[in-house]
Amino acid sequence: MKVTFEINGAEKSVDVEPRTLVVDLIRTKLGMTGTHIGCDTSNCGACTVLLDGRPVKSCTLLAPMLEGKKVTTVEGLAAGGKLDAIQVGFHAEHGLQCGFCTPGMMLVGKALIEANPHPTEDEIRWGISGNICRCTGYMNIVKAIQHAAAANAAENTAGVA
Amino acid sequence: MAVDTTEAAAASEAARQAMGGIGVSLARKEDARFIHGQGHYVDDVVLPGMLHMVIVRSPHAHARIKGIHSSAAMAIPGVVAVVTGELLAQHKLAWMPTLSGDTQAVLATDKVRFQGQEVACVIAETKYIAEDAAQLVTVDYEPLQAITTPQQAIAPGAIVIRDEKEGQTDNKIYHWEAGDKDATDAAFARAAKVVSLETFYPRCHPSPLETCGCVADLDPVTGNATIYMTSQAPHAHRTLFAIVAGLPEEKIRIISPDLGGGFGNKVPIYPGYVVATAASLLIGRPVKWIEDRTDNLISTGFARDYYMDGSVAIDENGKFIGLRVNLLSDNGAFFADAQPSKFKAGLFHIVTGSYDIPAAHIVANGAYTNKAPGGVAYRCSFRVTEASYFIERLVESAAVELGQDPVTTRLNNFIQPEAFPYKSASGFEYDSGNYPGAMKVALDMLGYDELRKEQAEKRAKGELMGIGVASFTEVVGAGKGKDYDIAGLRMFDSAELRVHPTGKAILKLGVKSQGQGHETTFAQIVAEELGIPASDVEVREGDTDNTPFGLGTYASRSTPVGGAATAVVARKLRDKGKIIAAHLFEADVADIEFAKGKYNVKGSPDNVKTIQDIAFAAYTNIPDGIEPGLEGVTYYDPPNMTFPFGTYLVVVDIDKGTGQVKVRRMVAVDDCGVRINPMIVEGQIHGGLTEGFGIAFMELITFDDEGNCIGSNFMDYLIPTAWETPRFELGETVTPSPHHPIGAKGVGESATVGSPAAYVNAVIDALSHLGITNIDMPITSDKVWAALRSKGVTE
């Protein structure tokens, strides 16, 4: 069947089996391999993408569910060659090691600070608790998201001034 | 003047940061591709004509195979082949050797011996078709009684699991001893007190977020075999592939691309790799095999599963004088542990730990069970974790029995700083240490004495609070090669360094990062030794065609061995640079000095040639009789292991009503010698403390009586999220390794080795006054609740 949606700002119309998982559609059909598969049971969040701005686990969505929606993957973060604040934060705070959970973590973090620009540490920890990282112990992921939140706040302040 | 000094200091610091040498927390070079989603993992490899493989696994833990029917699967359009053990047997590939000198079924022919064992492989045009067809492969099984504990396995009359092995008449695998029995017996005979502990370190799983897999691409025309593979040890794997599959080694190229974590899980060779490779050879097309999470948890390298009991003999002054430990290991259906070949229970004999115990005797026995094979060291150097856990738990028991503060018991028995190098009763020579020093830093950071007061007040009110102490010592960085080998391959490692005419360098290593940040850390060693900025040093790993032979990354060996090789090869180039500098200066080589990337003639410090000048000259203006180029390779065989150590302190509060344990504080003071990139080191420690927390409180692979694996997905195998994970407070001391070229020790595993005992000791510290002396991991609320109720404690 044909499914039409927008991904990272570009409209796509693809022919897929209805049972195709969104993560497989993105990775295999569209060749965008930044979205990873870690568990197949929506526990680990490595496959997280944003669907109309909200984080979802793409291993547990079927392709037809994308119809008319907007998808953002890690490949869509650095718009126009400029790093998103969340990417800068993860690099600056050593928020990644093996990099496998990183795309999902960054997307969850980005959605979190868009909904709540000044999160507490507990709010961040709760917000990312649907995503597993085996390497970092989360300390620096929390700092990375705080780093991004602070950068966004500074930019907004600069804009007002 | 003051301003000038400050400015000079600032300039010097800026130069240090720009160089990115040892001690600089340089942001990671490898991050760029990962934050763009451009990491390149095995599952991202797509080749023209690539097929997909799915493994059909046994639902039974123990059963005889009566027949395998694949015609329904073959009838599905897009299915190319169904591979069975019978087919592999025709190519002598139905069985393969393990890393511990046993054999393992690639695909089962006679019997299945654990739930999840590989029985057949379906190869199809797409993964979806392969999954569909795998459901249609039917296998007739005759179920047999399953053995699920090593105690059952070694009981008289137990059904023999490995009945296909000639001469195997029971389920015993090995018997191994270390230390001196007579001296230990004598120590116990004169002991004023003997304290004992029996404990079980349950089976857990490294479960890196990326599962295992490969893409095997055998070119039928050239005979070239390129295997993209989740491998922590690509060179060793290539050699083993050559031996197992009979492929010519020079035609095999293993490429281990970005790895999504490893933690030991990607050390062994698994049946899936072998079948995908054989299938690619037979079919003539690339074959991809990627595990799903359940495949990973139920069939690949688990960790621990050690039953340990032992005693410490204590004299009238409270000094430890002897240690006895017995262990029984559950190795699953095939003895496939990854460990140096001489040592059947890995390096468990480090069990004397941080303590000066003059006599020790260790007896280890292993047993086959109907459980998955492949004991690997989940972020640990070959069973050091089990050893460290046992001794630190036993010392806690000793403190309770002696009526002492556990800190006092440790301080009374630590190996003293002046005693290094220290020869342990079980045969290790510890390189360096300052155990009281690390402990003092940890106690100060925690505010230990105040917390003990708070605990006393709380206890008076009936509240449960505990402070856990663990002072671990690890042994990491294998070899030396004479004593440590894997499947005969000596455990050295290698570095190849080429400085190009423009002064930019490429460093190629035999080790393989799984997220540890090698591209940054090893560039920093070159920066320190040669004065080429770390940003100008490109690090390459994981491609056997393009890196020197090495044994790979596990057991915290990259910095101790590969890091040493890097420093040594850089020094070789530095020395060659002196010859070139002498030529350029028209001076004697003996008069050339080098510091921070600059050469000068003695007495003329302001007239310098930079390493970049020298590199250019190496290709453009070389003295007569000297080989052009600035390139070298070092194979480094370490003279000894390194022995990192530290003190971890944990504060817990326990809810009497629910048994819930809340970790309030976690202070970790590590001494891993010289820290190359402190930020990366701390990141490693954070990760290890979290995995240790998971093991202590959440992670468990267990089995029911029929051998069904409980813990086969992330809903049952619980991994800590950010919500459960404690906030960590890190401290450090620095006691360099005297034999390592830059004084560094391994650190990647310290926190997983040292922390479980600290967490558990905290829980026991909160409960020991009630008469509760042990709770086996994972310490879940229900276990604590039951322990409290058994002592009559209610809400």
> What would the pLDDT profile of B472-481 be if each residue is shown by its tens digit?
999 999 989 9
Whole-number pLDDT of residue A160:
58
Dihedrals phi, psi of B694, to nearest 5 degrees: -60, -45
Do A45 and A138 contact (CB within 8 A), yes or no?
no
Cis upstream peptide for B639 (omega within 30°) = no
Cβ contact A132–B689 (<8 Å): no
Partner residue opposite A99 with nearest CB, options B27, B34, B715: B34
- Give the integer Cα–Cα distance in Å for B17 and B343: 44
Q: Is B304 a catalytic residue?
A: no
The A residues from 6 to 35 touching B (CB cutoff 8 Å) are: 17, 19-20, 24, 27, 31-35
Which of B522, B524, B491 has its CA nearest to residue B641? B491
d(C-alpha A17, C-alpha A1), whole Å = 6
Annotated catalytic residue within B379, B383, B557, B675: B379
Give the mean model confidence (pLDDT) for residues A69-82. 94
Instruction: Determine, yes or no, domain membership for B18.
Output: yes
The residue among B590, B619, B636 that closes a domain is B636
Query: What is the pLDDT at residue B1?
Result: 47
Looking at per-residue pLDDT, the higher value among B694 and A79 belongs to B694
Give the chain B residue whose CA is nearest to the CA of A31. Answer: B44
Is there a contact between B43 and A33 if contact means CB atoms under 8 Å apart?
yes
Q: How far apart are CA A133 and CA B723, in angstroms?
A: 12
Joined tokens for residue A143: 């700092």
* Chain B contact for A98 (CB, 8 A cutoff): yes
Q: Specify whether the CB–CB gap between B469 and B452 falls below 8 A.
A: no
Whether B195 is in a domain gets the answer no
Q: Are B395 and B444 found together in one domain?
A: yes
Nearest 5°: the CA angle B92, B95, B97 is 110
Q: Nearest-CA residue of chain B relative to A142?
A: B722
pTM of the model: 0.97
Over residues B568-604, the pLDDT tens digits come to 999 999 999 999 999 999 999 999 999 999 999 999 9
Average pLDDT in chain A: 96
Our count of domains for chain B comes to 3
Nearest to B728 among A34, A126, A139 (CB): A139
User: Looking at beta carbons, which residues of chain B come within 8 Å of A98?
Assistant: 208-210, 258-261, 514-515
Question: Is B481 strand, coil or helix?
Answer: coil
Indicate which residue of B232, B339, B516, B612 is catalytic.
Answer: B232
pLDDT at B30 over 80: yes
Give CA separation, A14 vs A6, A18, A63, A129, B46, in Å.
Answer: 11, 11, 10, 33, 20
- The secondary element (H helix, E strand) that includes residue A72 is strand A70-72
Q: What CATH number is attached to the domain comprising B589? A: 3.30.365.10
CA distances from B604 to A158, B598, B601, B726 (A): 52, 12, 5, 56
| Residue A126 contacts B where some CB pair is shorter than 8 Å | yes
CA atoms within 13 A on the CB side of B620: 11
A58, A40 in Cβ contact below 8 A?
no
Q: Are B680 and A39 in contact (CB < 8 Å)?
A: no
DSSP letters for B548-591 = -----S-TT-IIIIIIHHHHHHHHHHHHHHHHHHHHHHTS-GGG
Q: Which residues contact B376 (CB under 8 A, 6 or more apart)?
A: B206, B264, B265, B267, B268, B301, B302, B303, B337, B338
B232 has catalytic annotation: yes
> Using CA atoms, how far apart are residues B511 and B233, in angstroms rounded to an integer?
7
Could you tell me the CATH number of the domain that includes residue B100?
Answer: 3.90.1170.50
Is B523 found in the same domain as B512?
yes
3-class DSSP state of B655: coil
Q: At B4, phi and psi to the nearest 5?
A: -60, -45
ipTM of the complex: 0.98
Dist CA B785 CA B775 (whole Å): 11
pLDDT band at B339 (very low <50, low <70, confident <90, very high): confident
Exposure class string for B172-201: b at 16+ Cβ within 10 A, else e: ebbebebbbeeebeebbeebeeebebebbb
User: CA dist B511 to B30, B232, B303, B382, B496, Å?
Assistant: 16, 8, 22, 17, 12
| Residue B375, pLDDT score | 84
Chain A contact present for B515, CB below 8 A: yes
Query: Do A136 and B687 make contact, defined as CB atoms within 8 angstroms?
Result: yes
Nearest Cβ partner for B261 among A27, A135, A141 = A135
Beta-carbon separation of A142 and B722 below 8 A: yes
Residues B295 and B397 in one domain: no
Contacts of A24 in chain B (CB under 8 A): 127-128
Query: Based on the domain organization, do B384 and B465 belong to the same domain?
Result: yes
Which of B372, B377, B404 is closest to B161 using CA atoms?
A: B372
Q: Do B388 and B323 sit in the same domain of this protein?
A: yes
Tell me which of B721, B727, B728, B730 to substitute to probe the interface with A (most A C-beta atoms closer than 10 Å): B721
Q: Any CB–CB contact under 8 A between A47 and chain B? A: no
Q: Give the pLDDT of residue A159.
A: 62
- Residue A41 in this model has a pLDDT that exceeds 50: yes
Q: How far apart are CA B92 and CA B98, in angstroms?
A: 15
**Both structure tokens of B617:** 């000259």
Nearest CA in chain A to B520: A97
Q: Based on the domain organization, do B405 and B498 belong to the same domain?
A: no
Question: Under an 8 A CB cutoff, do A128 and B293 touch?
Answer: no
* From B515, B715, B719, residue closest to A98, measured CB to CB: B515
Angle at B453 between CA B448 and CA B457, to 5 degrees: 145
Residues B343 and B218 in one domain: no
**B1-5, B90-94, B295-299, range with the lowest pLDDT:** B1-5
B461 phi and psi angles, rounded to 5 deg: -90, 0
From the list B31, B127, B208, which residue is nearest A96 (CB)? B31
**CB contacts, 8 Å: B211 with chain A:** 38
Do the bridges between strand B225-229 and strand B252-255 make them parallel or antiparallel, or are there none, so unpaired? parallel
SS3 call for B688: helix
pLDDT at B376 over 90: no
Contact B308, B314 (CB under 8 A): no
Partner-chain contact B35 A96, CB within 8 Å? yes
- From B598, B617, B636, the end of a domain falls on B636
User: Which tens digit of pLDDT belongs to each residue from B553-564?
Assistant: 999 999 999 999
The number of residues making up chain B comes to 795
Q: What backbone phi and psi angles, to 5 degrees, belong to B122?
A: -105, 130
What is the band of B247 on the pLDDT scale with cuts at 50, 70, 90?
Answer: confident
Give the integer Cα–Cα distance in Å for B201 and B692. Answer: 12
Q: Is A82 on the interface with B (CB under 8 A)?
A: no
Task: Give the count of Cβ contacts less than 8 A between chain A and B.
Answer: 171
B664 in active site: no
Radius of gyration of chain B (CA): 28
Per-residue pLDDT tens digits for B295-319: 999 999 999 999 999 999 999 999 9
pLDDT band (50, 70, 90) for residue B166: very high
Q: Are residues B135 and B280 in the same domain?
A: yes
Confidence band (pLDDT; 50, 70, 90) for A79?
A: confident
Residue type (1 letter), B795: E
- B36 with A130: Cβ contact below 8 A: no
Contact criterion met (CB below 8 Å) for B234 and B242: no
Name every chain B residue with its beta carbon within 8 A of the beta carbon of A128.
721-722
Judging contacts by C-beta atoms under 8 Å, the chain A residues touching residue B36 are 34, 74-75, 77-78, 87
Residue B192, domain member (yes or no)? no
> Structural domain of residue B689, as residue ranges?
306-478+640-790
pLDDT score of B431: 98
Instruction: Write the CA distances from B217 to B242, B273, B288, B729, integer angstroms.
Output: 15, 11, 9, 47
Report the DSSP beta bridge partners of residue B636. Answer: B493
Query: Which B positions 27-46 lie with beta carbon below 8 A of chain A?
Result: 27-28, 30-41, 43-44, 46
* Single-letter amino acid, residue B561: V
| Residues sharing a CB contact under 8 Å with residue A115, sequence separation 6 or more, in sequence order | none
Identify all chain B residues contacting A131, using CB atoms and an 8 Å cutoff: 721-722
Chain B residue whose CA is closest to A42: B714
What is the mean pLDDT of the segment spanning B277-301? 97
Interface test with B, best of A30, A43, A96, A98 (most B CBs within 10 A): A98
Same domain, B751 and B690: yes
Task: Name the least confident of B20-24, B246-250, B658-662.
Answer: B246-250
Q: List Cα–Cα distances, B254 to B220, B292, B352, B376, in angstroms.
A: 17, 22, 39, 21
B662 shares its domain with B608: no
- Domains of chain A are 2-76 (3.10.20.30), 79-160 (1.10.150.120)
Q: Is residue B461 part of a domain?
A: yes
Q: Are both B685 and B554 inside the same structural domain?
A: no
Banded pLDDT at A134 (limits 50, 70, 90): very high
Quick one: pLDDT at residue A157?
Answer: 83
- Is pLDDT above 70 for B2? no
Which stretch of DSSP H or E encloses residue B466?
strand B464-473
Number of separate helices (H) and strands (E) present in chain A: 5, 5
Q: Are A155 and A137 in contact (CB under 8 A)?
A: no
Judge whether B255 and B47 are in contact, CB under 8 Å. Answer: no
CB contact under 8 A, A33 and B128: no
Mean pLDDT across chain B: 97
Judged by CB atoms closer than 8 Å, whether chains meet at A97 and B679 is answered as no
Last residue of a domain, one of B615, B636, B657: B636
B379 as an active site residue: the answer is yes
Do the Cβ atoms of B94 and B107 come closer than 8 Å?
Answer: yes
Q: Answer yes or no: do B499 and B618 share one domain.
A: yes
B residues 686..745 contacting A (CB < 8 A)? 686-691, 713-715, 719, 721-723, 725, 727-728
What are the CA-CA distances from residue B550 to residues B5, B219, B235, B508, B555 (Å)?
Answer: 47, 26, 6, 11, 14
